[in-house]
Amino acid sequence: MFESSLKQLGDALRAKKISSVELTQSYLDRMAQLNPQLNAYITINPETSLAQAKAADARLAAGSADALTGIPIAQKDIFCAKDWLTTCGSRMLHNFVSPYDAHIISQFNNAGAINLGKTNMDEFAMGSSNETSYYGAVKNPWDTQRVPGGSSGGTAAAVAARLCAAATGTDTGGSIRQPAALCGISGLKPTYGVCSRYGMIAFASSLDQAGPMGRSAEDLALMMNVMAGFDERDSTSLQRDKEDYTRDLNKPLTGLRIGLPKEFFAEGMGADVAKAIEAAIAEYKKLGATIVDISLPNSKLSVPVYYVLAPAEASSNLSRFDGVRYGYRAPEYSDLADMYEKSRAQGFGAEVQRRIMIGTYVLSHGYYDAYYIKAQKIRRLIAQDFVEAYKQCDVIMGPTSPSTAFKLGEKGDDPVQMYLSDIYTIAVNLAGLPGMSIPCGFGDNNMPVGLQIIGNYFDEARMLNVAHQFQLATDWHSRAPQL
């Protein structure tokens, strides 16, 4: 059952071979047993989850079930869920019980899915190792001495360890794809604007995007059918017709043109990662794809551009946390300014404070043009590289991360080294393109390697097809860690 796909679980539920209450209880039991060693979840509410399961069973009995009705899904703790503690991995929100649902949460509720719990994450989604969470680091299920990646590290670990059927993540600079790669699962960051950001605690609003994380491309497609769609409450949500993301899964890949950017295959990628990526490309050739050499000459500027834009937007978004209306307030202070400064200094962790400092500086008087506007101009150059590339190819492939999962504490206090672990993923966010990561083998120390697939705008259905055909031909995605 823990190895069943979402489609198989849905079929079993509708055929009454299992009830949602039984399925949910089985996951809760497994979580009680395994979560203590992984720390993948921040909050679990068994009674709430089981009440939802009971309602789902009634819906199943009434014959009005949707594809995900009754299926236990974990939610990244960045999504506000009514009456659930919603911390965003921060002390700042240690007592924030959300009074409302994020759009994504409403969508899953309407679909009859079960909220199995809120997954751990880097504080305010700022991190690439899940070590910045106020609630402790998440451990990689493949080796508990190693990080799961971040910021959706709790989600990635929960999916890999079969502590949920599938789960949500968010991706601002790689936070779905990098942990998916490091934990050997599949993850999709949609085109910017496809999934509503309403009720998703903001980090960098022009880059943040929600997406599904699961064990296969087919599962991701079913999740996308629930998550995607216009929402007027998000001013950047795109008005588009509803899509069925499963529609192209079974198309053959004959004639598919895969672009390989030379910049992604230059120095910097680990030899073990390179070997797995090359083997995956060879598999795609067998499936009928052709290879095109392309160039993304400005992609090397992604990291510096990102570390101007994302902190700038974060410093603005996080100014709302002032200890007045909700969240953490310092126990002692002398006046209002002191209350703000102490509440924020005590409520935010080191990495969040670092990014607020960078952002405040680059937006301050006299530096705005030199940093923020300059970065936005280079952002356009980076996006234009992709426009040129897609004249020659249908999808772009390369590594998701330069290395497999590193050890907890290994990157310690050097923020620049940590930032460089997102070197292949950030350009996709800057361009607003969809990107995904699927498991494609194992590197040194038997740790998973992720293949990144980057699509053109709104090409998610094709990317899922490209991933699904690979997963029909290989079994990397069905490998599970021993726990």
Partner 1 sequence: MIPYQPCLNIVFAMSLSTQDVEKVARLARLAMSPSEIETSRNQLNGIFGLIAEMQAVNTDGVEPMSHSQDLAQRLREDKVTESNQRAAFQAIAPQVEQGLFLVPKVIE
Least distance (Å) between residue 31 CB and partner 1? 26
One of 250, 380, 388, 445 touching partner 1 (CB under 8 A): 380
Under the binding rule (CB under 8 A), the answer on residue 238 touching partner 1 is yes
Residue 38 has which token pair? 């992984």
Closer residue to partner 1 (CB): 1 or 301: 301
Q: How far is it, in rounded angstroms, from Cα 194 to Cα 201?
A: 17
Under the binding rule (CB under 8 A), the answer on residue 463 touching partner 1 is no
Least distance (Å) between residue 250 CB and partner 1? 29
Least distance (Å) between residue 293 CB and partner 1? 22
Helices (H), 39-176: 46-61, 103-111, 153-160
Closer residue to partner 1 (CB): 334 or 482: 334
Catalytic residue among 19, 20, 128, 151: 151
Residue 139 has which token pair? 């451990």
Closer residue to partner 1 (CB): 322 or 460: 322
Closer residue to partner 1 (CB): 403 or 469: 403
Which segments of 180-280 are extended strands (E)?
Answer: 186-189, 209-214, 257-261
Under the binding rule (CB under 8 A), the answer on residue 340 touching partner 1 is yes
Under the binding rule (CB under 8 A), the answer on residue 476 touching partner 1 is no
Q: Which stretch binds partner 1 (CB under 8 A): 20-28, 104-112, 212-220, 228-236?
A: 228-236
Give CA angle at 133 (132, 137), nearest 5°.
Answer: 85
Under the binding rule (CB under 8 A), the answer on residue 232 touching partner 1 is yes
- Give SS3 for 399: strand
Catalytic residue among 19, 90, 98, 175: 175
Q: Which stretch binds partner 1 (CB under 8 A): 49-57, 71-79, 171-179, 340-348?
A: 340-348
Closer residue to partner 1 (CB): 98 or 130: 98
Site for partner 1 in 161-180 (CB under 8 A): none
Contact between 427 and 382 under an 8 Å Cβ cutoff? The reply is yes
Under the binding rule (CB under 8 A), the answer on residue 257 touching partner 1 is no
One of 242, 337, 391, 482 touching partner 1 (CB under 8 A): 337
Q: How far is it, in rounded angstroms, from Cα 276 to Cα 449?
A: 7
Give CA angle at 317 (99, 195), nearest 5°.
Answer: 65
Contact between 3 and 478 under an 8 Å Cβ cutoff? The reply is yes
Site for partner 1 in 10-69 (CB under 8 A): none
Least distance (Å) between residue 65 CB and partner 1? 30
Give the contacts of 133 (CB within 8 A, at least 6 positions apart). Answer: 42, 89, 120, 121, 122, 123, 127, 153, 154
Q: How far is it, in rounded angstroms, from Cα 158 to Cα 166?
A: 8
Site for partner 1 in 420-449 (CB under 8 A): 420-421, 423, 431-433
Catalytic residue among 19, 76, 98, 411: 76
- Give SS3 for 310: helix
Least distance (Å) between residue 369 CB and partner 1? 10
Site for partner 1 in 85-104 (CB under 8 A): 95-97, 99-100
One of 139, 189, 344, 477 touching partner 1 (CB under 8 A): 344
Least distance (Å) between residue 303 CB and partner 1? 7
Under the binding rule (CB under 8 A), the answer on residue 417 touching partner 1 is yes
Under the binding rule (CB under 8 A), the answer on residue 274 touching partner 1 is no
Closest CA to 41 of 77, 85, 94, 80: 77
Closer residue to partner 1 (CB): 19 or 404: 404
Under the binding rule (CB under 8 A), the answer on residue 194 touching partner 1 is no
Give the contacts of 402 (CB within 8 A, at least 6 positions apart). Answer: 268, 269, 270, 273, 420, 421, 423, 424
One of 415, 472, 474, 479 touching partner 1 (CB under 8 A): 415
Residue 107 has which token pair? 């969508």
Least distance (Å) between residue 367 CB and partner 1? 10
Give the number of residues in contact with partner 1, rule: CB under 8 A. 81
DSSP string of 154-185, one letter each residue:
HHHHHHHTTSSSEEEEEESSSTTHHHHHHHT-
Helices (H), 318-419: 336-347, 350-363, 368, 374-389, 415-419
Contact between 90 and 101 under an 8 Å Cβ cutoff? The reply is no
| Alpha-carbon distances of 188 from 378, 400, 428, 441, rounded to whole Å | 25, 12, 12, 18
Closer residue to partner 1 (CB): 54 or 329: 329
| Alpha-carbon distances of 89 from 135, 136, 142, rounded to whole Å | 6, 9, 23
x/- binding map, residues 283-322, to partner 1, per CB under 8 A? Answer: ---------------x--x-xxx-xx------x---x--x
Residue with tokens 């979402």, as numbered in its chain:
6
Least distance (Å) between residue 78 CB and partner 1? 17
Q: Which residues pair with 118 in a beta bridge?
A: 43, 75
Q: Which stretch binds partner 1 (CB under 8 A): 13-21, 126-134, 281-289, 371-379?
A: 371-379
Q: Any idea which residues carry the catalytic annotation?
A: 76, 151, 175
